[in-house]
Amino acid sequence: GERVLVVGAGMAGVQTAVRLRERGWTGRIVLVGAEPHRPYDRPPLSKAVLTGGAAGSAFDVDFDALDVDLRLGVTVTGLRAADREVDTASGPVPYDRLVLATGAEPVSLPGGGGVPGVHLLRTLDDVHLLRPVLAERRDVVVVGAGWIGAEFATAAREAGCRVTVVEAADRPLAGVLPPEVAAPMRHWYREAGAELLTGRAVTAVRPADRGRVEVELSDGAVLRAGGVVVGIGARPATGWLTGSPVALGEDGAVLADDRLRTSVPDVYAVGDCASFPSARYGRRLSVHHWDNALQGPRTIASVLVAGEAETPPYDPVPYFWSEQFGRFVQYAGHHDDGDEPLWRGDPGDASWSVCWLREGVLNAVLAVGRPRDLTQGRKLIERAATLDPARVADPSVPLKSA
Ligand code: FAD
C-alpha cells in the first residue's frame, strides 16, 4: 500500500498517525521525530511537568498496536520532492504522501544563545535544565510577559524563586490582547510577588561570576540572576524546507490551503508549522496552539482516506488556554482592532470575561475563570450567532441566552 511519512512527532504528527488509523488507512505510516524522547505533550511543560506535579507528559498512544513505524532522534534535513524523498543523517526516507508537522522553534535572545544559564522553554530537555533552577530557588529573570513567560513566572513563584519579568511592550500579552483587556493582568504579577518591568528591552546577556547571568536593559539597568528564561515567541520550524518547492509565507509558515495541502502535490502541513486560509476570518491564520494540532490532523486523515471532495474545508474557531497566577485563562475565536469589547464582570474580581462583537456577531471570547462563557461562546462563534450587546454585558445572563 501507499506510504505516509509524517515529519515531526509532536502533537500534530502523532495525531496525524492516530487519525489515519482511525479513518482506516491501511498503508504504511512512518513517523519521524528529531527529539529522542517518547512523543509527549507540550502544555504541561510550563505547568505540572515543570513544577514536578507530574513526572512527564508522554502521549498515551500505543504506536506498535497502531502499526506506526516510529523513528525517534532522527532529524529531517531536506525534501527532494521530485524523488519523493526526504533526507536524514541516516539516509533518505521515501514517501507517497508526506505530512509536514515540524512545529515551531522558540526565538532566542539576540546574543543569548550559548550563554550558560539562559534557557528556552519548548522541549523536555529544556525542562530538565530548568527544574534545578526552581529546586534551588535561584532568582530568575524572565524575558517576555507572554503566555510562556507568565506560566514560567507562576511556577517559579510557586517554587519560592525571586522573579523579575522584563517586557519590551507596555503591558503583558501585548501581541495578543488590546491594552484595556491586558491591563488587569498587570496586577496578577504583583499579587503573585513577581516584579514586572514593562517598556524595557533586554539589550545584552552575559555570564557573571559564580555561574550567574547579567542582564542589561535598555534603560541602562543591570539585573543579575541565577537563571534567565526567554519567552519572546516562536517561529515555524521550516528552515529545512528552504530551497525545496514547498511555498513558505513571510512568517516562515508552510502555506497550506483549506484542505491543508501545500504547494507540492501529495505534501500536507499541519500544526504550528503551517498557516491556512480562514474563510471565517477572511484571512490566513498561523495558529500556535494545541487545539489546532488536535483538529488539523482530522482534515489530513480525511483527505488521505476519503479524498478531497469528501473533506470539508479546515476552518476552525481557534482556541487556547493558559494557566497563570492561579487563574484559568481561555480564549476562542479571533478579534480584530475594530471589534467592540464587552465586559462580563469586573476585571478586579477573580473571574470575568470579555466578548468581542462585530455588528452584533460574536467574534471572540476571553474567559478568566468562566469556563462556561468559553464553552458557550465557542459554539456561538462557530454559528456566527448575533447577540444582544446589553445581555452580553450582563454576566448573570448565560452567554447562550444573550
Ligand atoms: P511541536 O509540538 O513543536 O512538535 C513538532 C515536533 O517536530 C518537535 O518534536 C520537533 O522536535 C520535531 N521536528 C522539528 N523539526 C524537525 C525535523 N526537521 N525533523 C524531524 N523532526 C523535527 N497551547 C495551548 O493551547 N495551551 C497551552 O496551555 C499551551 N502551553 C504550552 C506550553 C509550552 C511550554 C509550549 C512550548 C507550548 C504550549 N502550547 C500551548 C502550544 C502547543 O504546545 C503547540 O501548539 C503544539 O505543541 C503544536 O504541536 P505541533 O505538533 O505542531 O508542534
User: Residue 284 domain-assigned?
Assistant: yes
Mutate to test the pocket of ligand 1, among 11, 15, 119 (most ligand atoms within 8 A of CB): 11
114 and 256 together in one domain: no
Q: What is the CATH number of the domain that holds 351?
A: 3.30.390.30
Query: Residue for cell digits 480584530?
Result: 336
Residue 292 is which amino acid? N
Cell numbers linked to 17: 498517525
What pLDDT is stored for residue 339 in this prediction? 87
Cell numbers linked to 325: 497566577
Query: Residue for cell digits 512568517?
Result: 251
Ligand 1 first shell, C-beta below 6 A: 7-13, 32-35, 42-43, 45-46, 75-76, 101-104, 121-122, 148, 237, 240, 271-273, 288-291, 293, 320-322
Q: How far is the CA of 103 from the centre of ligand 1 (A)?
A: 5
Give the bridge partners for 7, in sequence order. Answer: 32, 100
Cell numbers linked to 382: 462557530
Measured CA to CA, the distance from residue 89 to residue 87 in angstroms comes to 7
Minimum-distance ligand 1 atom for the alpha carbon of 292? 45
Minimum-distance ligand 1 atom for the alpha carbon of 323? 28
245 and 217 together in one domain: no
Give the bridge partners for 321, in sequence order. Answer: 330
What pLDDT is stored for residue 134 in this prediction? 97
User: Residue 313 domain-assigned?
Assistant: no
Mutate to test the pocket of ligand 1, among 14, 42, 95 (most ligand atoms within 8 A of CB): 42
Minimum-distance ligand 1 atom for the alpha carbon of 321? 26
Q: Over its length of 402 residues, how does the chain's per-residue pLDDT go in tens digits?
A: 799 999 999 999 999 999 999 999 999 999 999 999 999 999 999 999 999 999 999 999 999 999 999 999 999 999 999 999 999 999 999 999 999 999 999 999 987 778 999 999 999 999 999 999 999 999 999 999 999 999 999 999 999 999 999 999 999 999 889 888 999 999 999 999 999 999 999 999 999 999 899 999 999 999 999 999 999 999 999 999 999 999 999 999 999 999 999 999 999 999 999 999 999 989 999 999 999 999 999 999 999 999 999 999 999 999 999 999 999 999 999 998 888 899 999 998 999 999 999 999 999 999 999 999 999 999 999 999 999 999 999 999 999 999
157 and 241 together in one domain: no
Nearest Cα neighbor of 229 from 284, 157, 334 is 157
Measured CA to CA, the distance from residue 137 to residue 156 in angstroms comes to 8
What pLDDT is stored for residue 175 in this prediction? 87
92 and 133 together in one domain: no
User: Residue 314 domain-assigned?
Assistant: no
User: Residue 281 domain-assigned?
Assistant: yes
Minimum-distance ligand 1 atom for the alpha carbon of 121? 34
- Which strands, in side-by-side order, build the sheet including 361-368? 319-324, 327-333, 361-368, 352-358, 340-344
Minimum-distance ligand 1 atom for the alpha carbon of 46? 34
90 and 15 together in one domain: yes
Minimum-distance ligand 1 atom for the alpha carbon of 240? 18
User: Residue 62 domain-assigned?
Assistant: yes
Mutate to test the pocket of ligand 1, among 154, 289, 325 (most ligand atoms within 8 A of CB): 289
Mutate to test the pocket of ligand 1, among 19, 290, 374 (most ligand atoms within 8 A of CB): 290
Q: Whose CA is nearest to atom 45 of ligand 1?
A: 289
Cell numbers linked to 263: 504547494
CA-to-CA dists, residue 241 to 104, 224, 238, angstroms: 13, 39, 5
140 and 185 together in one domain: yes
User: Residue 321 domain-assigned?
Assistant: no
Last residue of a domain, one of 213, 230, 247: 230
Last residue of a domain, one of 198, 230, 262: 230
Q: Whose CA is nearest to atom 30 of ligand 1?
A: 43
281 and 201 together in one domain: no
What pLDDT is stored for residue 111 in this prediction? 78
Minimum-distance ligand 1 atom for the alpha carbon of 291? 25
Q: What is the CATH number of the domain that holds 196?
A: 3.50.50.60
| The total number of structural domains that make up the chain | 3
Minimum-distance ligand 1 atom for the alpha carbon of 88? 19
Nearest Cα neighbor of 326 from 196, 198, 194, 230 is 194
User: Residue 175 domain-assigned?
Assistant: yes
Count of residues in the chain: 402
76 and 147 together in one domain: no
- Residue 43 has a CB neighbour count (10 Å cut-off) of 18
151 and 46 together in one domain: no
113 and 226 together in one domain: yes
Q: How far is the CA of 218 from the centre of ligand 1 (A)?
A: 31
Residue 27 contacts residue 99 (beta carbons within 8 Å): no
User: Residue 288 domain-assigned?
Assistant: yes
Measured CA to CA, the distance from residue 287 to residue 274 in angstroms comes to 8
ipTM value for the complex: 0.99
Q: Whose CA is nearest to atom 16 of ligand 1?
A: 102
- Which residues lie below 8 Å from residue 306, measured CB to CB, with a gap of 6+? 23
Scored b (16 or more CB within 10 A) or e, 230-248 reads bbbebbbbbebbeebebeb
**What is the span of the domain harbouring residue 73?**
3-105+234-305
| Radius of gyration, CA atoms only, the chain | 22
Q: How far is the CA of 208 from the centre of ligand 1 (A)?
A: 32
Q: How far is the CA of 175 from the centre of ligand 1 (A)?
A: 20
221 and 141 together in one domain: yes
Last residue of a domain, one of 250, 274, 305: 305
220 and 130 together in one domain: yes
The burial class, CB within 10 Å (0-12 / 13-18 / 19+), for 110 is exposed
